[in-house]
Structures are given as structure tokens and as C-alpha cells.
């Protein structure tokens, strides 16, 4: 290994350490920190962010990368990938002032605390002044980069490198047409029974059952944990310390099971990355869409399948005999896949979920373009919800304030949820070709073959490959809606007798 590569790895390792320390503080803010600690926490994160940014954009790093790009030009080795990814990160980071990074940490920390309070009180006006500051930061961030085909491209590229806004809109237009057609057919069919899902379920028992499921999936609790937070998320401090959070909703108690499956999908991805990539830019998921393909696969293609519940439903029924009295596994399966307009994105059924994402994309583009007055967001949100999903939120908490993302400045993230759905179905078709009898394995509560396939084809590579190249390499095609439409049509034709 060259001396210059060693020098680069040492600096990048220190940057990784600083960023993971910031992640620990962010995790603590959402899980343990008292509300009064917000201002100080913002300063902590600002300091770490500024130091990390300065280290990662130093002249020394720039010179090392220039030399190493020549040395590793065209190399497909791990070290070649490290240099390529580090160079891309450097080229983006060097455009952004360290002062901006620090300011963003302060503003988004205060914004998160305001969002929590606003959601608790269902009052958008509490969050509005903070969102205005976040949006100013987002527009400033875009201005640091060369003019793109669309300003939203700059934000999208942070989460899905290589994708353009126009490409996402084209894919979404195609998906929307197919999903609206399917939803119309479902609406004309007899609705399924699901009232038993909303009875009173003991929170501790639901939480315990969630941990039982994700342990059997393969989430390693010796290298992770599940805690409570206002909004479920996964965070990684190391391949050997990957944590998830979850929540319990009294009006939708079994949602805890599915959010646990979802976050464990993210976490198993991070736990499966090669240990050789620790403390380097390769030691994380390659993109948000690929990450979401993992979480949505475990939550939906596995966790909402009939074969899964043919195995787990008898166990669930033993834990909740009175709530599930007279309910069969098939009835339960249909209930958890019931299609109906819903207020909350994370609880939306598969047939309508992408519509929630398309709504958010439209709003984010309008906000970045400056075509939406932020004070009008609750009204615009409600109007769009009626247009897209056919239901109007009764309050801000179940409307414009339901997601944490805007408080954290995560503009450009939402589209990747729907893209992840599409990729999950593309992967699923390939998996079922490669693993004979997978459905029977799931019916027996065995997930080793599935997890091992994902580890070999996706997880272990971390960020070694570009996301679009990885998807093409594994599935044989670029991101498209065909497999997802086939999956939804088959599944709901069975459930609703279409």
C-alpha cells in the first residue's frame, strides 16, 4: 500500500470518527436528551461538524486525492473505489463553507426541538420560523454548486447520486398511472375486515414481539439495540454498533411490528458491510434508494406476506388471544394489507404509499423553486392529500407536521423512499430466481438464505459501487417500475379477488 494512501486513510478515519461522534449525539438527542439541552447540543454538533468539514476539505486531502486518482485510475479494487468515492465527496464538500456546516447544525437542532413541540401541540406556527431558516440554508446550499438542470438535482444527488429530478418525475408519472388504476379496481371490490388491528394491545408485549421478529430476521442485538423515539430511524456508529428506534401508537398498535421490520432492514444492511471498510467512506450504504430497498423488502415483501404470517401468526395469537380470537392467518394477512386512504405516510398500505411520496416531492420542488409560501404549507398539504390520496388531515400533527425530515434539512430524501420500493421488487424477482423454495423457507421462519444472498450481493459492498451500477449489476436493469407493478398487481388481485 502506498504511503499516500495510508496518509489519506488516516485522515479519512479521523473524519469518520468525528462524524460518528456527531451521530451518537444526534441519536441521544432523539432518544434520551431532555428538551432543555437543545441549544447546547446544537453547539456540540456545530463544533464537530466544522472540525470534520475542515479536515475533510484540507489542502492536504486535496493533494493526496489528486495524486491517488492518477495512481488508481480505472482500478476496480477496494482502494480504487475508496479513492473514487473520497474524491467525489471532497469535490462536493469543498464547495460548502465550514461556517455553513456549523450553522446548519445549530439551525436544524433548534428546528428539531421546535418540530417535536409543534407536532405535540399540532400547531404548525411553532415550527414555521424554524422551517424558514432551514429553507434559507437549503437555497444557500444549492447556490454553492454549479447550475444544474433543476436546483432540486443538487439536493437529490446527496441521497441518490446520479439521479436527476426529471428522471424521478418520469418514473413517478409511470408508477402513478399504474397505481391509480389498481386503487380504482380495489375500491370497487369488497373491503377486507381489519377492526381487530385497532383494539388495545399491550405496548410492552408488542415491543417484545417486534424484537423477536427482527432477531429471527438476523438483526444482531449484540451489535445493536432498539429504543424509543418520536420518529423511527436507524443510525450506524460502526459496523459493530448499528442502532434502531421505534415507536408505539395506541390507535395503531401493531404498526410497531412493521416499523421495527423496516428499521431492521436498514440496520442489517449496515451490519453486513465489510469490516475492511471501517473508518472509510465505503463503510455505509451506497444510496438512500438502495437502503430503502432493504427496509421496504423486510417490512413488506417479507413481513406483509402470507407465508410470513402463516409462521408467525400462531405465536402472535398466543400473545394476544383475546384481541385475535376468531381471526385466521389469512384474515390477518388481508387486514395488514388493507388498502384505504390514510393520513400517515409510514402507516400507508403498499398500494397508496408512493402517492404520499409523490406529494412530498411536489411540495419540496415548489419550496426550492420559491413557488410555495411556507405559511401556506398546511393548507396546500391538505389540498394535495385530498387530491392524491382522497383524505383531508384533521390537524397539523397528522398532516404537514408528521415527518421529521424537513426539521433536519433532509430535502431530496423523500423520493428515495418510492425509488426504494421499486428496487426492492427488482431485487425480489432476482432473489426468487436464485433461491428455490424461498416462500417455503419464510413459511418455516427461516431467513438465512435470504439474508446471506443480500449480504453477498448488496450489503458487503458498502459504497464500493455507484448505486445505479450496483442495481444494474445485481438485477440486470436500471431502476424501473415494472417489477413493482407486477408485485402489487399479483398481491392485491389475490387479496381483493380482482
Please identify every residue annotated as catalytic: 263
* Count of CB atoms situated within 10 Å of the CB of 71: 13
Distance from first CA to last CA of the chain, Å, rounded?
61
What is the spatial distance between Cα 256 and Cα 207, in angstroms, rounded to a whole number?
7
- CA 62 to the chain's CA centroid: 31
What is the spatial distance between Cα 29 and Cα 23, in angstroms, rounded to a whole number?
10
> CA angle at residue 45 from 41 to 49, to 5 degrees?
170
Burial of 62 (0-12, 13-18, 19+ CB in 10 A): middle
Residue 494, CA distances (Å) to 177, 327, 334, 498 in order: 21, 19, 9, 7
3-class SS string, the chain: CCHHHHHHHHHHHHHHHHHHHHHHHHHHHHHCCCHHHHHHHHHHHHHHHHHHHHHHCCHHHHHHHHHHHHHCCCCCCHHHHHHHHHHHHHHHHCCCCHHHHHHHHHHHHHHHHHHHHHHHHCCHHHHHHHHHHHHHHHHHHHHCCCCCCCHHHHHHHHHCCCCCHHHHHHHHHHHHHHHHHHHHHHHCCCCCCCHHHHCCCCHHHHHHHHHHHHHHHCCCHHHCCEEECCCCCEEEEECCEEEEEECCCCCCCCHHHHHHHHHHHHHHHHHCCCHHHCCCCCCCCCCHHHHHHHHHHHHHHHCCCHHHHHHHHHHHHHHCCCCCCCCCHHHHHHHHCCCCCCCCHHHCCHHHHHHHHHHHHHHHHHHHHCCCCHHHHHHHHHHHHHHHCCCCCCCCCCCCCCCCHHHHCCCCCCHHHHHHHHHHHHHHHHHHHHCCCHHHHHHCCCCHHHHHHHHHHCHHHCCCCCHHHHHHHHHCCCCCCHHHHHHHHHHHHHHHCC
Phi-psi region of 432 (alpha: psi -120 to 50; beta: other; left: phi over 0): alpha
In the numeric block, which cell numbers belong to residue 291?
Answer: 437502503
Amino acid at each position: 500500500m502506498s504511503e499516500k494512501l495510508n496518509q489519506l486513510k488516516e485522515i479519512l478515519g479521523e473524519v469518520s470518527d468525528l462524524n460518528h461522534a456527531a451521530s451518537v449525539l444526534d441519536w441521544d438527542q432523539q432518544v434520551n436528551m431532555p428538551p432543555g439541552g437543545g441549544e447546547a447540543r446544537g453547539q456540540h454538533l456545530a463544533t464537530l461538524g466544522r472540525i470534520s468539514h475542515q479536515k475533510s476539505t484540507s489542502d492536504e486531502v486535496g493533494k493526496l486525492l489528486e495524486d491517488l486518482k492518477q495512481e488508481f485510475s480505472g482500478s476496480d479494487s477496494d482502494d480504487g473505489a475508496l479513492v473514487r468515492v473520497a474524491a467525489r465527496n471532497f469535490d462536493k464538500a469543498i464547495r460548502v463553507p465550514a461556517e455553513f456546516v456549523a450553522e446548519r447544525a445549530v439551525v436544524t437542532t433548534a428546528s428539531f426541538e421546535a418540530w417535536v413541540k409543534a407536532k405535540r401541540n399540532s400547531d404548525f406556527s411553532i415550527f414555521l420560523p424554524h422551517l424558514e431558516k432551514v429553507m434559507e440554508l437549503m437555497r444557500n446550499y444549492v447556490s454553492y454548486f454549479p447550475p444544474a438542470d433543476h436546483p432540486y438535482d443538487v439536493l437529490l444527488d446527496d441521497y441518490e447520486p446520479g439521479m436527476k429530478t426529471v428522471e424521478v418525475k418520469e418514473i413517478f408519472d409511470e408508477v402513478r398511472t399504474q397505481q391509480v388504476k389498481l386503487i380504482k379496481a380495489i375500491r370497487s371490490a369488497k373491503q377486507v375486515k381489519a377492526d381487530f388491528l385497532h383494539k388495545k394491545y399491550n405496548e410492552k408485549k408488542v415491543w417484545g414481539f417486534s424484537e423477536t421478529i427482527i432477531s429471527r430476521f438476523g438483526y444482531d442485538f449484540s451489535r445493536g439495540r432498539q429504543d424509543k423515539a418520536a420518529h423511527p430511524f436507524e443510525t450506524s456508529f460502526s459496523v459493530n454498533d448499528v442502532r434502531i428506534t421505534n415507536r408505539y401508537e395506541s390507535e395503531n398498535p401493531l404498526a410497531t411490528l412493521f416499523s421495527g421490520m423496516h428499521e431492521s432492514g436498514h440496520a442489517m444492511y449496515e451490519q453486513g458491510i465489510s469490516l475492511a471498510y471501517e473508518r472509510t467512506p465505503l463503510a455505509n450504504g451506497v444510496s438512500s434508494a438502495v437502503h430503502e430497498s432493504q427496509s421496504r423488502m423486510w417490512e413488506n415483501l417479507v413481513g406483509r406476506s402470507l407465508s410470513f404470517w402463516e409462521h408467525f401468526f400462531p405465536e402472535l395469537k398466543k400473545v394476544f388471544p383475546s384481541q385475535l380470537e376468531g381471526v385466521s392467518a389469512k384474515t390477518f394477512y388481508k387486514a395488514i394489507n388493507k388498502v384505504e386512504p390514510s393520513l400517515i405516510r409510514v402507516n400507508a398500505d403498499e398500494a397508496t404509499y408512493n402517492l404520499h411520496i409523490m406529494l412530498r416531492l411536489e411540495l419540496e420542488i415548489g419550496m426550492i423553486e420559491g413557488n410555495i409560501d411556507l405559511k401556506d404549507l398546511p393548507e396546500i398539504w391538505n389540498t394535495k392529500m385530498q387530491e392524491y390520496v382522497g383524505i383531508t388531515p384533521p390537524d397539523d400533527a397528522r398532516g404537514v407536521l408528521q415527518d421529521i425530515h424537513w426539521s433536519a434539512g433532509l430535502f431530496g430524501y423523500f423520493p428515495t423512499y418510492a425509488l426504494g420500493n421499486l428496487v426492492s421488487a427488482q431485487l425480489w424477482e432476482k432473489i426468487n430466481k436464485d433461491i428455490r423454495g424461498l416462500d417455503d423457507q419464510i413459511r418455516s421462519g427461516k431467513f438465512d438464505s435470504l439474508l446471506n444472498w443480500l449480504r453477498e450481493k448488496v450489503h458487503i459492498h458498502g459504497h464500493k459501487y455507484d448505486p445505479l451500477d450496483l442495481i444494474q449489476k445485481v438485477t440486470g436493469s436500471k431502476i424501473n417500475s415494472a417489477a413493482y407493478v407486477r408485485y402489487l398487481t399479483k398481491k392485491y388481485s389475490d387479496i381483493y379477488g380482482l
